[in-house]
Structure 1
Amino acid sequence: MGEKLALQDYTEKAYLDYSMYVILDRALPNIGDGLKPVQRRIIYAMSELGLSAASKHKKSARTVGDVLGKFHPHGDSACYEAMVLMAQPFSYRYPLVDGQGNWGSSDDPKSFAAMRYTESRLTPYAKVLLQELGQGTVDWNPNFDGTLSEPALLPARLPNILLNGGSGIAVGMATDIPPHNLREVVSACLHLLDHPDADLEEVCEFIQGPDYPTAAEIITPREDLMAMYEKGGGSVRMRARWEKEGSDVIITDLPYQTSGSKVLEQIAQQMRAKKLPMVSDLRDESDHENPTRLVVTPRSNRVDIAQLMLHLFASTDLERSYRVNMNMIGTDGRPRVRNLRETLVEWLSFRRDTVTKRLEWRLAKVLDRLHILEGLLVAYLNIDEVIEIIRTEDEPKPVMMARFNISEIQAEAILNIRLRNLAKLEEFTLRAEQDELEDERDYLEGLLGSPELLSDLIRTELREDAETYGDDRRSPLKQREAAQQIDQAALMPSEPITVVLSKMGWIRAAKGHEIDAESLSYKTGDSFCDSAYGRSNQQVVLMDSTGRSYSLPAHALPSARGQGDPLSSHFTPPANALFEKALMCPDKQYLLMASTMGYGFVCQFDGLISRTKTGKAIVTLAKGAKLLDPSPIASVENGYIAAVTSAGYLLVVNVAEIPQLARGKGNKIINIPAAKLKAGEESVVSVVALAADAKLIIHVGKKHKAISGEELQEYVAERGKRGKMLPKGYQNVTRLEAQT
């Protein structure tokens, strides 16, 4: 019978095992050598193939085959991609693989040739990881089928975890370690060796910030970088570098892993959408001599270049933010997020252990050799007797061991001496070697017995490696003004336009204010509904029959030469709602919103602008009520509101009596008996806002009457009154109009 296990227990254990495998054996780098298992296996397999920096390049497929066949039983494409990444100078700060052939470009890192076409070997920097490998410095594990051994770690002489960084996504955790400058990191290590209690602030005097393999600027403020290094997480912001050449802007360096062609496409997209009227041309002049050279030509000399670049930084990949999460597997084998100081201190501890193991291994070798030399010198002093024993005895080894009081190893070494080595000079050579090894033994024992001398050795080796492999910082740290997109309304040309709305909900815009909107051509069954006059850089607000508002930028509307666009393609109004009003005003313009039931309130135009497809509820309309034409108000302090009903009652109230609301039903402006309202016998026909000195024009069909001064005052009363009946012949009012 097989073992029975509850499905819940089995899946929990299986998922936990899988997640631990992904975390420890796939996705996270180790603090010791800064490598993930696949990277470590590639570097080790290449060293085993003899592909050092001094050797000839070999086909990449050969290396990948070795890695998969011996150490890493996974997919070849994933393995090759990991190898490519270590060979790309624009991806790795200190590349570990020296590639020949097409290894991708900074514009398209994935454009590398297949592994059967490319060749590779290790870079000189890879020696930092491999130099001490055969010197007893690391533990060895059996490979996946137990036929070979592979190193559990590489004995890194430098903190590669910080130099090249790394990123990966495990189960429930991820890592994003930025690359750093070798000289800066070594300087920080040396300071920590001299001052073990140094705090993070002192360490950050040496390590100012990350150093990516691009000359783009790091613009994250110093206090943010300090906070990032203190927590082991945060973000770094990079900005492209540019310069002026004549009237053109030349972009010379892009942020890390940013594609020039993508940036050009983002700028071109804005130009097509007429969002960059100040740019006339865009070119990519990149070549071998100038890997990045993007040219932006302004429309004229009057364009503010600095403002334009700040806009491009804010709206394209010319400025990017990179996540930092310094999660790594420590010397204890556990993954954890470490701050900068913890990382360096733990790496120095790893380095001290590695150097100690190397010295102990060398000391053991020296002691073994000295032991053998002692035995050989005994043989040389008694050479005739030794030869006699060898010639006469069947088992000379035990006889020699007893006669000269030597060990089995020494006896074996004596028996292995060649005849030619019995020359007299050989004894001097052995004595010289013995003296040399005794000196080395004393030196090694002195180092192992003194932490200070051991620190001196580590310090010396770090300085040597910094001298050999170090270089200047590539990513300069700069303080820059925050990027900000240019207000699109300010970018748009301000031209007079007329927006036309049809009864079936089609919208279009014509240049100028002299358009006869009603005489335009409409679709069969459609006709003119409303029009609004404004400018091309304003928003158009549309009101539907339920009192909701919707908005569109006027410059985006189709030309009035065609039939326009259906508003249903832009918005999703409530069922059976019809678009009835079109409005264009300055943002802070006050408007009177009123219904046929006699209620109204004052609001600002920008309060009607909606960002959603479903619009914004503005006017609450009772059953049977309709929205009247919104009327612009010159001043909310003084002036009047005139309202007229279908029965010919006119009421003029002070504008200050009308409430200012963002939305709602409003207050009663003019009173209509409830019975008449309910029966639909009377309703408000028109409301209009008047300036204090304006005339009120009453339109009745084709005739009209102007009221002002004392005559107008006769109709002035408190809000909510019935109003006064207009004279005979002017009771059937079509609309009211204000005339200044």
Structure 2
Amino acid sequence: MEGEERIIKQTVEKEMARSYIDYSMSVIVSRALPDVRDGLKPVHRKIMFAMHELGLTFNRPHKKSATVVGEVLGKYHPHGDSAAYEAMVRMGQPFSLRYPLVDGQGNFGSVDGDPPAAMRYTEARMKKITDEVMADIDKETVDWTLNFDDTIPEPTVLPTKIPLLIVNGASGIAVGMATNMAPHNLSEVVDACCAYIDNPEITGEELLQYVKGPDFPTGGIIYGYEGVKEAMLTGRGRVMMRAKTEIEHTPSGRECIVITEIPYMINKAEMIKKIADMINDKKIEGISYINDESDRNGLRIIIILKQDAVASVVLNTLFKNTPLQTSFAVNNIALVNGRPELLSMRDLIRHFIDHRHDVVVRRTRYDKRKAEERLHIVLGLLIAQDNIDEIVHIIRASQTPDAAKQTLIERFELSDIQASAIIEMRLRALTGLERGKLIAERDELMKLIEHLTEILENVSVQMQVIKDELLEIKEKYGDERRSEIVYASEEFNPEDFYADDDMVITISHMGYIKRTPLAEYRTQNRGGVGAKGSATRDEDFIEHIYVASMHNTMLFFTEKGRCFWLKVYEIPEGARSSKGRAIQNVIQIEPDDKVRAYINVKSLADAEYVNSNFIIMCTKDGTIKKTRLEAYSRPRQNGVNAIVIREGDQLIEAKLTSGNAEVMIAAREGKAIRFNESTVRPIGRVGAGVRGISIEENDEVVGMICVEPDSKQDVLVLSENGYGKRTDLDEYRITNRGGKGVKTINITEKTGKLISIQAVTDENDLMIINRSGLTIRTAVEQIRLAGRATQGVRIINLREGDAIASVMAVPAAGDEEEVQTAEGAENGAETPATDAPSAEE
């Protein structure tokens, strides 16, 4: 019967529910979630306290890790030794914690996922910054509880001066919930805490001015800001992380992607293996070799590309398919008064400041009590100094110390503590010097007590103490951000960072592009040989030059009939003499395609503008097509088809018109046709166009101009041997579209074939670049008007074997200094073209 009485009948469902709830609450409160005050889970707190008790401060020698683990397991944390050791190791890994708390000696693991050495081989002690975490723990600043066997007290929280939960983050999986908190920069967090102290009503949006976003120990790039903002304001969000990469060139000239920083918590070795497997499985094209060149100086992974690979395309593929780009799901759940809560950045700061306030008040009370206790003793010692003869007589006349103490208490109205201090006083305390020290100590203690009393009575003074201590922490341990934040383009206006200056955009025959300020190109007189315009490879030469302002949008048209969009400021900048960057790395055109023309527009967002303007395109065989600009007002990263190009043909020109322009098309054999734009019907993007000029089988179109009414533009033509002329537009009669045209220049062996046709005024300069890379900029007004059928005058002196590559009319340079005469230029440029100094030199 007695045995039956000890049996409690319970259904399985109720017992399972009760046991599961007990287990889950134990995991949530005592294992997996950090406390919002000190940012530590119980195991980390116990490790810190055990190291503190062992005296393993930053200025003491390291001790075996096994000693620390044994102390933790034996006194505070009766769990597996590997769990405690791994927790301690993680606190010492600079790639895991933004501000490590443990100073490890030996193999503490690596970013490749290598395990740490066994605890019997490694040593550990606390970092200097950990002193700030343990500061004032002996001053009754925190609550204590007994350990698992009720023999040793341990703190329930640490009195940290550092907002550990925010700066180091945390991650843990409990039962039914998890936490994943990102690390942040200490300097930014301290600034935000100070701002909160100054204004407790500060909003989450205002705190974003101080804490820009997470700051991961491994650096990298935070890509986009919406997820960061959401995480900071709500406590939950998705932060996109990217590796930091650079495009370099090998000694053989091949492009390579160099990775110098990787996303947080990514295993480097596994990442490289995954990339290598994808290369072997042909899931990623264009990579010939990948190697890890990391050393003690830093991380460096090199990915060498194949000869025809496009670096930007390969990189985007890597970002999409490998851990080079990964997301960090922020979930700020921490224990607040023992209960899990989802916390925003403002909540985290508020709870930390509340904790610091509690610590400062309790510390001040402790310091005040200790100061008062010492003052009480000092006052008693001073009474003894004043009555030393009588006190000596009382002590000598007493049979026991207790009797002497009782007599002193009664005679001088002393407390028990004061009487005990007098009896235990040494004879040396009777000297005059010791009396002076006691008086000085009394005065100092009275000042200290007054100061501490003021702190306790005034909350604003308490907050100032917290703020001063935080600023001191920032001064000692604050550092620069490691993670760069790249704001998405729709979230800010990049044009704000660029002046709206005119730029010269050059594209070489082999497809290198750059932008250079127009002011770098200075005017020369007609007949000069030109200044060095671009450093190109021997077989390369500048083929196209365009002028646009920094805020404009450029539409690139390729010879295969594709259209791409690009802001001018997105084009890589280069000096006048630099080569530029491969255009395939700037816009995603095919390797065998080339840019042939551009349209320069102020804005594609203006509905009236895009519907009232047109794009006219012309191909090498004389086909012409007219389409509304509106059809090209929706940029796509991969481009769109602009015109159907038949086999053997290619696009050579595209112009922006108002719908009423006069169109002129010129052919290589010297013929040109003029007709009104209104004779060409607008069609959609999908279409091949109509016949613009009829040419012979061995002839081809070299250019097209569109002259708006009342523009007062002349027609300027230039031959490949440097001869050119200006002709009034009215000398060309208007004919039907599709005719053979009329003679525009007298082609002879001396002039060479027609190379270019331009629409110009006296306010234009003519920029000419020849195949050797030299440029000349000459004023159009220096070129006289001539008849339609003449051969013109020499515009540029060419060296033997050289020829004109590209011609462009640009705005006049104003009053810039004229640098050379024709004769001076000829005398000063006798070196080979690729090595020639600029004309100014």
TM bucket, shorter chain: 0.5 to 0.7
Structure 1 residue 267: Cα displacement: 2.0
Is this contact kept in 1: 2:169–2:180, CA < 8 A? Answer: yes
| AA partner of residue 326 (structure 1) | N
Change (3 A) 1:397 1:6: farther
- Tell me by how many angstroms 1:430 deviates: 0.8
Q: Work out the CA distance in 2 between the residues paired with 1:273 and 1:350.
A: 55
Give, in angstroms, the shift of residue 91 of structure 1: 0.4
Q: Which amino acid aligns with 2:30?
A: D
3-state SS of paired residue (2:28): helix
1:4 deviates by 4.1
- Provide the residue aligned with 1:323 in structure 2: 329
2-structure distance, mates of 1:275, 1:4: 62
Provide the residue aligned with 2:246 in structure 1: 243
| Partner AA of 2:434 in structure 1 | E
SS in 1 for 2:191: helix
Equivalence map 1:647-658=2 (5 Å): none
Distance (whole Å) between structure 1 residues aligned to residue 339 and residue 282 of structure 2: 54
Q: 1:640 maps to what in 2?
A: none
C-alpha separation in 1, matches of 2:137 and 2:407: 41
Verify: 1:226 aligned to 2:201, yes or no. no
Distance 1:423 1:3 in 2: 77
Paired position in structure 2 for 1:116:
120
Matched, 1:21 2:26: yes
Residue of structure 1 equivalent to 2:38: 33
- In the alignment, the residues of structure 2 paired with residue 98 and residue 27 of structure 1 have an alpha-carbon distance, to the nearest angstrom, of 24
299, 306, 321: which one pairs with 1:299? Answer: 306
* Kept in 1: contact 2:260–2:301 (CA 8 A): yes
Tell me the CA shift for residue 270 of structure 1.
2.1
Task: For 2:475, give the aligned amino acid.
Answer: E
- Structure 1 pair 378/3, CA: closer, same or farther in 2 (3 Å)? farther
- The alignment status of 1:411 with 2:419, answered yes or no, reads yes
Whether the aligned pair in 1 keeps the contact of 2:95 and 2:218 (CA below 8 Å) is: yes
2:582 aligned partner:
none
Aligned pair 1:83/2:91, yes or no? no
Structure 1 residue 445 corresponds to structure 2 residue 449: no
Deviations 1:476-516 (A, max 9, x none): 1113689xxx99x99xxxxxxxxxxxxxxxxxxxxxxxxxx
Asked if structure 2 preserves the Cα contact closer than 8 Å seen for 1:19 and 1:171, the reply is yes
Tell me, yes or no, if structure 1 residue 9 matches structure 2 residue 17: no
CA shift, 1:52, in A, is: 0.5
Q: Residues 163-210 of structure 1: CA distance to partner in whole angstroms, max 9, x if unpaired?
A: 111000111111111100000000000001111111001111100111
Amino acid at match of 2:171: S
User: What is the DSSP-based 3-state SS (H/G/I as helix, E as strand, rest coil) of the residue aligned with 2:228?
Assistant: helix
SS of match in other structure, 1:146? coil
> What amino acid maps onto 2:203 in structure 1?
D
| Structure 2 residue matching 1:341: 3-state secondary structure | helix
Aligned mates of 1:4, 1:388 — CA distance in 2: 78
Runs of 5+ in structure 1 lacking a partner?
491-740
CA deviation after TM superposition for structure 1 residue 333, in Å? 2.2
Residues 239-638 of structure 1: matches in 2 within 5 Å? 239-246=242-249, 247-290=255-298, 292-300=299-307, 302-330=308-336, 332-394=337-399, 395-479=403-487
Taking the aligned partners of 1:397 and 1:274, their CA distance within structure 2 comes to 94
TM-score, normalised relative to structure 1: 0.63
For 1:212, the aligned partner's letter is F
CA deviations 1:431-486 (Å, max 9, x no partner) are: 1100010010111111111111111111111000111011111111113689xxx9
Q: 2: CA distance between counterparts of 1:471 and 1:456? A: 23
For 1:148 and 1:87, the matched residues in 2 are separated by: 27
CA deviation after TM superposition for structure 1 residue 121, in Å: 0.7
Letter in structure 1 aligned against 2:236? G
Distance in 1, matches of 2:430 and 2:9, equals: 73
Distance 1:222 1:435, change over 3 A: same
Cα distance in 2 between the residues matched to 1:415 and 1:177: 59
Question: Aligned letter for 1:97?
Answer: V
> Equivalent of 1:133, from 130, 134, 137?
137
| CA offset digits 1:244-277 (Å, max 9, x no partner) | 2212111111111212222222222222222333
CA-atom RMSD in angstroms? 2.0
Q: Aligned partners of 1:213 and 1:413: how far apart in 2?
A: 55
8 Å CA contact 2:205–2:233 kept in 1: the answer is: no
Q: In the alignment, which residue of structure 2 is the partner of 1:216?
A: 220
Q: Structure 2 stretches of 5 or more lacking a match?
A: 1-5, 250-254, 491-586, 592-841
Alignment partner of 1:142 is 2:129: no
How far the C-alpha of 1:393 sits from its partner, in A, is 2.4
Measure the CA separation in 2 of the matches of 1:33 and 1:303: 51
Q: Which amino acid aligns with 2:205?
A: E
The one-letter code sitting in structure 2 at the alignment partner of 1:156 is T
Instruction: Give the match's secondary structure for 1:262.
Output: helix
The answer (yes or no) to whether the contact 2:381–2:422 under 8 Å persists in 1 is: yes
Whether the 8 Å CA contact 2:147–2:154 is kept in 1: the answer is yes
Between 184-193 and 231-240, report the one with greater CA deviation: 231-240
1:126-156 per-position Cα deviation (integer Å, ceiling 9, x unaligned) = 1111111111111111111111111111101
Alpha-carbon distance in 1 for matches of 2:395, 2:326: 80
For residue 424 of structure 1, report the CA deviation from its aligned partner.
2.9
Secondary structure in 2 aligned to 1:205? coil
Deviating 4+ runs (over 6 angstroms): none
Q: Deviations over 1:304-347 (max 9, x none)?
A: 211210111000010011111100012x2221111110110111
Query: Contact between 1:260 and 1:294, CA under 8 Å: does it hold in 2?
Result: no
Q: Which amino acid aligns with 2:162?
A: L
CA shift for structure 1 position 68: 0.4
- CA distance change for structure 1 residues 338 and 475 in 2, over 3 Å: closer, same or farther? same
Q: Is the 1:165–1:176 Cα contact (8 Å) retained in structure 2?
A: yes
> What is the distance in 2 between the residues matched to 1:397 and 1:387?
12
Shift of 1:288: 2.0
What whole-Å deviation, never above 9, does each CA across 1:693-732 have from its counterpart, x for those lacking one? xxxxxxxxxxxxxxxxxxxxxxxxxxxxxxxxxxxxxxxx
1:52-91 correspondence to structure 2 within 5 Å: 52-91=57-96
Instruction: Say how many residue pairs are matched.
Output: 482
Contact kept, 8 Å, 1:163 with 1:181, in 2: the verdict is yes
**3-state SS of the aligned residue for 1:477?**
strand
Contact 2:182 2:330 in 1 (8 A): yes
Cα shift at 1:14: 2.1
SS in structure 2 of the partner of residue 150 of structure 1: strand
What amino acid maps onto 2:166 in structure 1? L
Structure label with greater radius of gyration: 1
2:107 to 85, 102, 108: 102
**Residue 117 to residue 480, structure 1, CA distance change in 2 (3 Å):** farther
CA drift of 1:384 comes to 1.4
- Is the contact made by 1:27 and 1:169 (CA closer than 8 Å) also made in structure 2? yes
Aligned partners of 2:272, 2:173: CA distance in 1, in Å?
30
CA distance in 1 between partners of 2:50 and 2:284 (Å): 53
Question: Would you say the 8 A contact 2:197–2:463 is kept in 1?
Answer: yes
- 1:87 is paired with a residue whose SS is coil
**What SS does the corresponding residue of 2:129 show, helix, strand or coil?**
helix
Please tell me whether the aligned partners of residues 65 and 119 of structure 2 are also in contact (alpha carbons under 8 angstroms). Answer: yes
Name the CA distance, whole Å, in 2 between partners of 1:399 and 1:185: 60
